Amino acid sequence: MKIIKNITGIFFCIALLNSIDTVAQVKILDQVAGVVGDKVILQSDIESQYQQYMLQGGVDNPAIRCEIMYQMLINKLLLNQAILDSVEVSGTAVEEELDKRMRYYISQIGSQKLLEERMGKSVLELKADFRTLIKDQMLTQQMQQKITKDVNASPSDVKSYYEHIPKDSLPRVESEFEIQQIVRHIEVTDEQKKEVKDKLEGYKQEILKGTRDFVATAVLYSQDPGTTKKGGELGFFGRGDMQPAFEAAAFRLRPGEISDIIETPFGYHILQLIERRGEQINVRHILLHPKVSDDNIDKASKFLDSLKTEINNKTITFADAAMKFSDDADTKNNAGLMQNVQDGTTKFEATTMDKTLFFQIDKLSIGELSKPVSYSDREGKASLRVLMVKSKTAPHTANLKDDYQKIRGAALQEKQNLALLDWVKKKRANTFVNITKDYRKCDAIKDWLKNTATTN
């Protein structure tokens, strides 16, 4: 069975980690490959997507570039129309989406520290790099939703879709889990916070006296792995790009001036303004996290063990315990149920979920609770959590009884794709399209050439 993907998403929303890796590996002499309305498709964008395809195990095939170009033409047509129709995405929605994606990538790689070390940038820098891309994606998706909002898949549509799939083409559905969690942050005492702040204040005073260098101190002692090699330098950013307390302090500084100690969800900082360019500033910072004591780790572990006993004794339900005691804002009000940000469902395939998480829940029976296990949340806070498997399916061939929602999703996606393609056919006839000669030979985009401007 071909579970059809969103037609604009095949190459468009490939994982951020691959995107960043590709940018780091491929350096391309850039040129314009096409234009839709006033939206430009760069050759570097196509090559970046092609490298992602190769990194995911694809076979070298020039025709894939044609497919990528085809997808990008549709994306740009949607984005161009979204702007013409004054479709809006709020800054808050963009930030929430950025945060959600960062949480996912952190969970996949293991911790914020590992993500920043691998990328060579802090989470703040990564968000700044991808803010415009995410906004464009959201505008494109909203435009597509506007086009397909009235498309539905009835039970008879689902049945018809399923019955037209050759039996030997029905896919094997891997084991899937629904997982609940209760998270407890490990307490940081006032004494531990004071220790960090005293250390930062000491650094600041020595820098002001000239006995210590800010850049060297950041390289040696800052706990922001994304900026330590650059002496704590974050690069230029504007208002609304950073945590409010961090940003407020940064924009008050004069060049060379050092801030007071700033507290953010990531820890404690001192900042130094490097340069101001209009409404953009560049700062360097030193970040320190308070150390958690063994006693407080033990305290959090005992709390979760006690809560686990109460759940097992049915004194309280897991859902109520999560709502009352969990420190994880994303899951506590949803019975502790974790969401798979890849597809928006609560199902996690055994073959694709985070390996650490898989090993923590693989041996659990349905309804069985894990022992407290280490966990680092999206802000890098040291935590422990108890996990429970709510449901688990065995590997099987897809069928209407067990996989109705998956099959319905595929049937609906097929109908939406057809509606979208019909819209594309009508809209491109009245939109300026320019495609370079290198892509005019592509079978996938021949229909776009009928109203294409001539270019070399």
Structure tokens at 135: 């906004």
Work out the pLDDT band at 297, boundaries 50, 70, 90. Answer: very high
* Whether pLDDT at 146 is above 90: yes
pLDDT tens-digit readout, 73-96: 999 999 999 999 999 998 888 888
Q: What is the mean pLDDT of residues 334-344?
A: 85
Through-space distance between the first and last CA atoms of the chain, rounded to whole angstroms: 42
Query: Could you report the per-residue pLDDT of 47-72, keeping only the tens digit for each?
Result: 988 888 887 778 888 889 999 999 99
Average of pLDDT values for 11-15? 39
Cβ(327)–Cβ(262) under 8 Å? no
Non-local (6+) Cβ contacts of 5 within 8 A are: 413
pLDDT band with cut points at 50, 70 and 90 for residue 110: low
If phi over 0 gives left and psi between -120 and 50 gives alpha, with beta otherwise, what is residue 125?
A: alpha
% of residues, the chain, pLDDT over 90? 52
Q: Domains (ranges, CATH) in the chain?
A: 16-166+399-453 (1.10.4030.10), 175-187+293-394 (3.10.50.40), 190-288 (3.10.50.40)
Nearest CA to 239 out of 253, 226, 250 is that of 250
- Return the bridge partners of 349, or none: 176
Average of per-residue pLDDT across 114-124: 83
pTM confidence score: 0.55
Residue 296: both structure tokens together:
């407080």
Radius of gyration of the chain, Cα coordinates, nearest whole angstrom: 25
Q: Cα–Cα distances in Å, from 162 out to 159, 371, 406?
A: 5, 42, 11
CA separation, residue 309 to residues 295, 350, 362, 369 (Å): 21, 28, 21, 10
- What are the counts of helices (DSSP H) followed by strands (DSSP E) for the chain? 15, 14
Cα–Cα dist 277/210, whole Å: 27
